[in-house]
A and B are shown apart, each in its own frame.
Chain A
């Protein structure tokens, strides 16, 4: 059995565990594909080839000895370069962090993926310090969209979107503070899971906004997304925000029917500022699920505003000393946003955190009568690299600040979301499947049903 470029993680793990393929062969094929295509995609900043071969050999030895291997045996994966990888400085898309001493220990989520048998093959490009929606990076160059390399991947987990969308790896990990998993999923035509705030450990990853930071997986199928997510769950004392809830596996529930679920379309704010492709994508998903009820989300404009204020101020606090000492080593656009964030008066930040509490209560009410909300992931398909403005509902607006307008009011209160790719031609676009807190299982189940119906799918990369 030989590896195919778009082979999914579940099939790889099955073939490796069953002795039909060796983990080392899978790893070598992955490294060869990265070498062949990443010059164009620019999704990787580090390829950990020696480490990957060593891990793959260890998996093969276990199998040869008749030992039980994990559910991700031999599955290659890569991580946004804000995850600590032992032996590498955690650059977080910056120039400054390259001077850090190399990490001594992997991030918790890498340890858990490898404990399940997965093989880390490298670290991925990202927007500087995760303060980005484009996937562009002044230090490393932009990650490129696998469906049209003249276009953005979306950010800030741009390399994660590019690597999975380009089928270089079946699974990648990224972070999402305001949309950084869901936006690249949308632009690159793949599945992404932003779990409930506090669900997955952030230990030994470089932060951005402690109040809003989440980590999660990207994949080309819902089964792969659930496999990775289940492998990474569990409490972790090394992350102060990580839940103490036990494991709540989702994979066994994926195929359960969705007929008992109350599914509605997010109205008002979420039906404005959309290009026709985004409207079409939401419509296809709603129709497939038989969703006709529209639920208005109160004060989503203010929720987005509050998320913006918390992000810019907590981000500024995180980087204050670097802004004093090495201002010229930042991307100037990031530096100027962070300096401005440092100047927002404290009472306004406190107001934003209090508004968050109020807004959370509104969603608790909504989820009494609804199990799932459907909303667009991005206003548009992937813009051109370097594009500055776009026209939304007749108004010329900056691209960078407005790509995440439909994701920000959702992550603001930490709701679990699966971004599902609708394969519209010529470019895919994502839809958010939003569930109540701690109900990732429901969002994944709905995504799986849509995948089975053929409404959502990760299109084959055709841009390179």
Chain B
């Protein structure tokens, strides 16, 4: 009981200090509104609004039909260029795809002589290049087939293929990107806030003061966890409600309370590692660099930006130890697949256990740092 009271009252102090730092406050608001919105609206990986240029040396009905078939949202309206511009356009990354339609293309196709449109793909624009090249191939084939049969329906294949995309029929990336933006911000905020709070207490000597009072390091750390965690949980909740549901108009199928519970468990981990880094770094500049070293891989390799399956197996195993990976995985399960606690509990448990380990480590380091400071 006394422990709980201590943790509660110490935490209120943290909340008071936070509410006084207006610059920090402003940037927290930015990171959970505008930053989330921007990332949600941007095509992180899908073929979306791809820049296409066409060299049309045919000027036929078919070539015009192909150009007209490159439609938003997948492609931005194609620009017509001449052959000698191809190289420059691709060198400067202004066009990701350049179609070269040879002279007499329509005639040669229709007379069965055969002709080939060359699709130049900037193969350094990895994900978009791969997906977009597939689309282009399909669109061109379809247009060729259509022109061959007159305006009528294309000849049916001997075997059909009916594809159903489960959970996300339009393959929309907004929700996915928004959730990835949120987890990135959660990492950044929780680690910097908690870590910097420790360094500040050390630099201002208030850490000594706390350690001399009838408070255990556990209480001191737990107070920081709940106070910082509360601020960020509220920010995440508001971000879900205001940005994702209201502004972007996305309807979330899964259970939001369950997702928020996951966020809270994740925050326990993130503030715990922040506190741990705060006890390891000796100054703010060092904390900044440690933060980059820890948070960047956690964010980028969590499976949210690039597929986990493509990583070397040892790295994949290492990333299984990172709670950010589990966060991405349970966020998908809950928000897209509508999974319940029966499905995501192993991920929740993994995040909680890793969080507990860092929490315990930071408590162990608390007393050591006063000795090291001398």
Chain A partners chain B: no
Q: What residues make up the interface of A, taking CB atoms closer than 8 Å to B?
A: none
